[in-house]
Amino acid sequence: MANVREKEQFLRFLRGRGQRVTGERLALFDEIFSQHGHIDAEELLRAMKARGLKISRATVYRNLDLLVESGLARKQRLGSRGFLYEHMHSGQQHDHLVCTGCGRVVEFVSPGIAALQAEICRAHGFLPARHTLQIAGLCNRCAEGAVSDGLGVAPATGRLVHV
Amino acid sequence: MANVREKEQFLRFLRGRGQRVTGERLALFDEIFSQHGHIDAEELLRAMKARGLKISRATVYRNLDLLVESGLARKQRLGSRGFLYEHMHSGQQHDHLVCTGCGRVVEFVSPGIAALQAEICRAHGFLPARHTLQIAGLCNRCAEGAVSDGLGVAPATGRLVHV
DNA sequence: CGGCTATTGAGACAGAATCTCAATACGTAG
DNA sequence: CTACGTATTGAGATTCTGTCTCAATAGCCG
């Protein structure tokens, strides 16, 4: 359990807003921090029930949004359907490279984007900001294989890489 | 009607795939090219019915995807719910600045992104690519007003601007 | 411990997009 | 120009996500 720091941050966040620390919130926290890549609410719910935890769909959705507000998780559209959540690696903002062939998602960090974002915002009078950058393309594996195999979609694995 | 070139491209696309040129497809083409900004499928459907055209929801959805495949339209998530479509300005790829205060969407073109995209893809062995960049922030109007007014969400207006 | 009230659970609900299948109309060949 | 085969359409049912409701439960504080 290496998320002591994050869990404390979460507790502080809750107490600071006069919100309660419930068993469900802690369980959800543990679950999402035990996951590696991106996960959607429905799957998270399934995973928790599979572990024998009793929690309802509404609670999962509600508290995922809470986790996002606390800055410990991020909510994003990556697939064509629904939102995906991911916990934050020590607050580091990163972006995604999505392979249109196999669905693999690679995370990366590129300092250049921050500069670009600042420049664009300045030009339009926009205030600070968050951004979402997704690059779609073919990963090396799919680019080679190309038409060669008719395999389905491989499970998406997320790894954080610096450019 | 200045979309002769695009319409021809669409017809060629259809014929090239052995697909039929139907009244519904042409009507949908005209409708989306008569729109300025982003529009969602449901609204497009409403607009067409308002003009007295008889077309079903399923057909709109089906053919919007077709338009996207042909490269003449783009499908994107900008709001929190559902997809928005926009026709392509002569194939020019642009990105979006979304105001979290009023929902206004500003389009911009930044050459820097293309370079960044190339660099990142090279680093990860990804092949060519499209990208989606969204920057969320407060537009100058909302940044000033801030808490001052409790007004609702203003209609999103799209204008293309170069950085 | 006891009370106040935030939170939960179960299921109803809402909105977006897809699917089904019979009816229609495009395109081609005759 | 007509007839035929088949892609496409329409209407509504269906699926899938995510939100909402409200009574029951359980944190938190005194």
Taking only the tens place, the pLDDT of each residue in B95-121 is 999 888 777 888 898 888 988 999 999
| Average confidence (pLDDT) over A20-36 | 95
Greatest alpha-carbon span in chain B: 57
| Average confidence (pLDDT) over B69-85 | 89
A20 touches strand D (CB under 7 A): yes
Model confidence at A1, pLDDT cuts 50, 70, 90, reads low
pLDDT attached to residue A70: 94
Structure tokens at A21: 């620390």
CB-CB neighbors (< 8 A) of B157 in chain A:
none
**Left if phi > 0, otherwise alpha if psi is -120 to 50, otherwise beta: which for A43?**
alpha
| Domain final residue, candidates B53, B87, B121 | B87
pLDDT attached to residue A145: 61
Separation of alpha carbons B42 and B57, rounded Å: 8
Separation of alpha carbons A78 and A103, rounded Å: 10
Report the range out of A71-80, B2-11, B48-57 with the highest average pLDDT.
Answer: B48-57
Q: Residue A115 is which amino acid?
A: A
Find the nucleotide nearest A61 (Cα to C1′). Answer: D18
| Average confidence (pLDDT) over B131-160 | 64
A65 touches strand C (CB under 7 A): no
- Assign residue B150 the CATH number of its domain: 3.30.1490.190
Angle (CA) B35-B138-B112 rounded to 5° is: 75
The residue ranking higher by pLDDT, A137 or A29, is A29
Instruction: Report the relative pairing of strands B95-99 and B105-109 from DSSP bridges.
Output: antiparallel
CB-CB neighbors (< 8 A) of A138 in chain B:
126-128
pLDDT attached to residue B42: 96
Q: Is there a single domain that holds both residue B61 and residue B105?
A: no
A82 touches strand D (CB under 7 A): yes
* Interface contact B159, partner A, CB < 8 A: no
Q: Is there a single domain that holds both residue A8 and residue A83?
A: yes
Structure tokens at A56: 């309802």
Q: Is there a single domain that holds both residue B150 and residue B80?
A: no
pLDDT at A154 over 60: no
Compute φ and ψ for B162, nearest 5 degrees: -95, 145
* Contact by Cβ (8 Å): A161, B124: yes
Q: What is the DSSP string of B11-49?
A: HHHHHHTT----HHHHHHHHHHHH--S-B-HHHHHHHHH
pLDDT 10s digits, B20-58 = 999 999 999 999 999 988 999 999 999 999 999 999 999
- Looking at the partner chain, which of A119, A125, A163 has a beta carbon nearest the beta carbon of B119? A163
Helix axes of A57-69 and A41-50: crossing angle, nearest 10 degrees? 120
pLDDT attached to residue B146: 53
CA–C1' B82–D19 (A): 15
pLDDT attached to residue A71: 92
Q: Is there a single domain that holds both residue B79 and residue B117?
A: no
CB pairs under 8 A between A and B: 122
Separation of alpha carbons A159 and A156, rounded Å: 10
Q: Is there a single domain that holds both residue B75 and residue B25?
A: yes
Q: Which domain holds residue B57?
A: 4-87
Separation of alpha carbons A97 and A78, rounded Å: 10
Domain total in chain B: 2
A24 touches strand C (CB under 7 A): yes
CB-CB neighbors (< 8 A) of A99 in chain B:
126
Least confident of A16-30, A65-79, B100-114: B100-114
| Average confidence (pLDDT) over B49-75 | 96
Least confident of A21-25, A87-91, A124-128, A130-134: A87-91
pLDDT at A103 over 90: no
Q: Is there a single domain that holds both residue A75 and residue A127?
A: no
pLDDT 10s digits, A84-102 = 999 987 667 789 998 877 7
Task: Mark which residues 72-101 of B lie under 8 Å from A by CB.
Answer: 77, 97, 99
* Interface contact A68, partner B, CB < 8 A: no
Q: Is there a single domain that holds both residue A78 and residue A135?
A: no
Strands of the B160-162 sheet, one edge to the other: A160-162, A105-109, A95-99, A130-137, B130-137, B95-99, B105-109, B160-162
B96 touches strand D (CB under 7 A): no
Q: Is there a single domain that holds both residue A20 and residue A66?
A: yes
Structure tokens at B39: 């529009």
* Contact by Cβ (8 Å): A115, B106: no
pLDDT attached to residue A29: 97
Q: Do B130 and A139 touch (CB under 8 A)?
A: no
| Domain final residue, candidates B87, B117, B149 | B87
Q: Do A126 and B138 touch (CB under 8 A)?
A: yes
